Amino acid sequence: MGIHDDDACNIGLVLRLGLSSTVESPSKPDSNQTPSKNPSFLKFEATNFDDEPSLTLGLSSSGGGGDSYQVTTAATQKVDVKPAGDLYRQASIVSAVSLLSSGKVKREREVSSEELMEVEKNNNNSSRLSDEDEEGVNGRKKLRLSKQQSALLEESFKQHSTLSPKQKQALARQLNLKTRQVEVWFQNRRARTKLKQTEVDCELLKKCCETLTDENRRLQKEIQELKALKLTQPFYMHMQAATLTMCPSCEITTGVGDANGNSNNPFLMASKPHHFHNNNPLSNPSAAC
């Protein structure tokens, strides 16, 4: 799966505050969806006190929109595997890399010429089911890739997160590894990249959740204040309501007569800071604004 670093930034938040006690996300994933098909879906239920304004924050790999309470991120797209040209282009890199046996890295595996011969021999046996060879004799001896091998694998992974059989074989030859080992390395790399990205998404959503919870609490308080105000001066508020308009996307209430937002109306909400009007995607859930 090709997960790009900037995916984490490609998140839009929408916050709606309503008086109903339930909030439904129309674009939430199908409940039958298996985790493997939508692994990045996460959902948080924010505070919901007094059965009034409630908040749901979700993450889906599909684009959310409309009235959904969702955070969306474009994650885990499958990357098309192109023909092997890119890999072959790297052959010269590997050749050079294989000459650089510095031995300065503590964990780096020293590869003797005998080992290389052995691996080369094993490369001829590249079938998925026929790589069992030496395992049974020596027990589970774990291979440690050299720094150069790891570097080339990483380089290849940057270009293709999955490899065709021919690409695997070519790369295995260049690395003096078995095809199966290259295959396993890519499997693990994909899995761990995905896990890492999920953790990043999770942290991001936690922060979003905290932000939105605070905002929810603030708006809840604001509603209570307005209700109290309405009770004390019902007739005056009724008259003022006719002069108010509301932004449909972010529900900022403004006066009609003043384009600058200035008003001498003492009951307008504009005196409170509107937290979402900045460029920070984390604290700017209302993309519509």
Partner DNA sequence: ATTATGGGTTTGATTACATCA
Partner DNA sequence: GCTGATGTAATCAAACCCATA
Interacting residues toward DNA by CB under 7 A? 1, 34-37, 39, 106-107, 109, 128-129, 131-132, 135, 139-145, 150, 162-163, 165, 180-181, 183-185, 187-188, 190-192, 194
- Closest separation in Å from C-beta 172 to DNA: 11
Inter-residue contact 276 to 285 (CB < 8 Å): yes
Nearer to DNA by Cβ, of 107 and 231: the residue is: 107
Q: What count of Cα atoms within 13 Å lies in the side-chain half-sphere of residue 236?
A: 10
Among positive and negative, which fits the CA dihedral 166, 89, 115, 177? Answer: negative
* Nearest alpha carbon to residue 190 among 163, 151, 167: 163
> What is residue 43's three-state secondary structure?
strand
- Closest separation in Å from C-beta 11 to DNA: 20
Q: Whole-angstrom Cα distance, residue 3 to residue 194?
A: 7
For residue 196, what are the CA distances in angstroms to 135, 181, 199? 31, 22, 5
Nearer to DNA by Cβ, of 28 and 180: the residue is: 180
- Closest separation in Å from C-beta 262 to DNA: 53
- Closest separation in Å from C-beta 96 to DNA: 21
- Closest separation in Å from C-beta 99 to DNA: 20
Nearer to DNA by Cβ, of 187 and 243: the residue is: 187
Nearer to DNA by Cβ, of 111 and 226: the residue is: 111
Nearer to DNA by Cβ, of 151 and 226: the residue is: 151
* Nearest alpha carbon to residue 204 among 59, 88, 45: 59
User: What is the helix (H) or strand (E) element at residue 208, kind and residue range?
Assistant: helix 179-232
For residue 132, what are the CA distances in angstroms to 114, 128, 182, 219? 20, 9, 15, 64
Q: What count of Cα atoms within 13 Å lies in the side-chain half-sphere of residue 112?
A: 3
- Closest separation in Å from C-beta 68 to DNA: 23
- Looking only at the bridges linking them, the beta strands covering 70-72 and 56-60 are parallel
Nearer to DNA by Cβ, of 119 and 289: the residue is: 119
Nearer to DNA by Cβ, of 163 and 212: the residue is: 163
- Closest separation in Å from C-beta 64 to DNA: 20
